[in-house]
Amino acid sequence: MNHFLRVLLLRSIVTINELFNDRFGETLKDKKKDVYGRVFLTLAISAADAYTWYHYFANVALTFGIFVMFFDYGINILFRRADWFTYLGTSTFDNLWRTWNPWLRFGIRVVILLTSILIYTWT
């Protein structure tokens, strides 16, 4: 398999898993379990092809960057929300930036993703 596709697939597993898991919504109790599961899955998948601590960190960073960029938009599309670009969930972090312009939030997500890609490509 092409290296780029393998990396993209491995680093996207956490986001895909969360989209599949949350496709019918979730309770507060489920959200807490999801966070632990997401962290465990991120750490485990990141170890799959890491051969140094730096590469492991780069894998974690890229997985996180993909999740931050695509999860909220993906879940809103799955829920068929008309306002998929502007809608935010109910997490503490979402409440922090709820009043910000949606384009600013999008820009921050892009910066996080690009930073994680840069970190990954330096390995």
Q: What pLDDT was estimated at residue 58?
A: 94
Residue 54 tokens, joined: 């730096």
Within 10 angstroms of residue 110's Cβ, the number of other Cβ atoms is 13
Strands (E) in 17-65, as ranges, are none
What is the reported pTM? 0.86
pLDDT at residue 31 is higher than 80: no
pLDDT band at 91 (very low <50, low <70, confident <90, very high): confident
Distance CA 98, CA 88 (A): 7
Give the pLDDT mean for 87-96. 76
* Per-residue pLDDT reduced to its tens digit, 38-64: 899 999 999 988 889 999 999 999 999
pLDDT at residue 28 is higher than 70: no
Decide: 98 and 88 in contact? Cβ < 8 Å.
yes
Give the pLDDT mean for 85-113. 86
Give the pLDDT mean for 8-27. 84
